[in-house]
Chain A
C-alpha cells in the first residue's frame, strides 16, 4: 500500500470482489419475485393436415396466443425467450415437443402478448400418429437475467385434438 500502483491494485481487486458479491445478491433477489403469468391459446383452424410422401404427418394451423408475462420480469431480467410447443405422446416417443412459434421479449412492456399467427416452424410428426390425437399446447419461457441464474417455466394448455381425417 506504500505506492500508487499498489493502492490502485488493492482498490481494483476489492471493488471487483464487491461487485461480484452485488451481482450474486442481485441474482438471489430474483427468488423474492413470485410471478403470476397467464396464457391462453385458441386453435382457430387446422387448414392443412396431410400425410407426406414418406409417411409422416404434416400439420399447418392458425392459432391465437394471448399471454401476460410481465410479472416474470424483475430488475435483473435482460430478456425473456418464449415459445409455444405442441406436445403429445406416441408409442415410439413418450413426449414429442414441436415448436410452433417463438419470440424474444426484450422488456416488460413487450411482455403482454396478443398474436394471431400460423405455425412459424413446420409441424411434422415422426410417423403417422396425429389423426384424432390429443395434444397440449404449452407456452414455455426462459428468463435470461443480467447476472446469475437462468429460470425456465411453462404453462400447459390441454384439451386440443387433431382432426380425424386428413384434409
Chain B
C-alpha cells in the first residue's frame, strides 16, 4: 500500500509511511482543529451531534418538570451541549477512518483527459 516517497504516501492514505510499508495515520494535536474531516466522518459527526442533543433535551425537560426546577433543566441541557461539543467539534481520529485515496499521478495519465469545453471555461471564470 505504502511505497517509496512521502508524497505518494500522503496522497494515497492521508497518513505517514510506517517502517514496513504500512500506512500509519499519525494525528498531531494541531490536526484536531485544522485538518479537514473525511466524508464518512462528517456524517458521523452530524449524527453524534443530533442524537445526544435531543436525548439531553428530553432528559433535561423531564427532570426539570418532575423536580419543578427550571434551572435544573437548563443546567442539564448546558452540560449536554458542552459534552456534545467535546465529542463532535474536534477532529478526533475516529472520524477519519475512511480517507479518500487519490490516484497516483502516473496512473492518472493512462486515462484520457477531459476535453475543456469553451462554455466551461467561461462559467468558471464568471463564478470565481
Residues of A within 8 A of B (CB): 1-4, 7-8, 10-11, 14-15, 18-19, 21-22, 25-26, 29, 74-76, 146
A1–B57 touching, CB < 8 Å: no
In chain B, positions 22-60 with a C-beta closer than 8 Å to chain A are 33-34, 36-37, 42, 45-46, 49-50, 53-54, 57, 60
Inter-chain contacts of B15 with A (CB < 8 A): none
B70–A11 touching, CB < 8 Å: no
A11–B73 touching, CB < 8 Å: no
Interface secondary structure of B, over-half rule: helix
When chains A and B are docked, how far (Å) is the Cα of A22 from the Cα of B72?
13
A1–B46 touching, CB < 8 Å: yes
When chains A and B are docked, how far (Å) is the Cα of A21 from the Cα of B57?
9
When chains A and B are docked, how far (Å) is the Cα of A3 from the Cα of B90?
9
Closest residue of chain A to B68 (Cβ to Cβ) is A75
Residues of B within 8 A of A (CB): 33-34, 36-37, 42, 45-46, 49-50, 53-54, 57, 60-61, 64-65, 67-70, 73, 77, 81, 84-85, 88-91
Known: A4-B33, A7-B89, A10-B49. A75 touches B70 (CB 8 A): yes
When chains A and B are docked, how far (Å) is the Cα of A101 from the Cα of B116?
84
Given contacts A8-B85, A10-B46, A75-B65, 13 further A-B contacts (CB under 8 A): A1-B37, A1-B45, A3-B36, A4-B34, A4-B91, A7-B89, A10-B49, A15-B53, A15-B81, A15-B84, A22-B61, A74-B68, A75-B67
Known: A22-B77, A75-B69. A11 touches B88 (CB 8 A): yes
24 A-B contacts (beta carbon < 8 Å): A1-B45, A1-B46, A2-B36, A4-B33, A4-B34, A7-B49, A8-B85, A10-B46, A11-B81, A11-B88, A11-B89, A14-B50, A14-B53, A15-B53, A15-B77, A18-B57, A19-B57, A19-B77, A21-B57, A22-B57, A26-B61, A26-B73, A74-B68, A75-B67
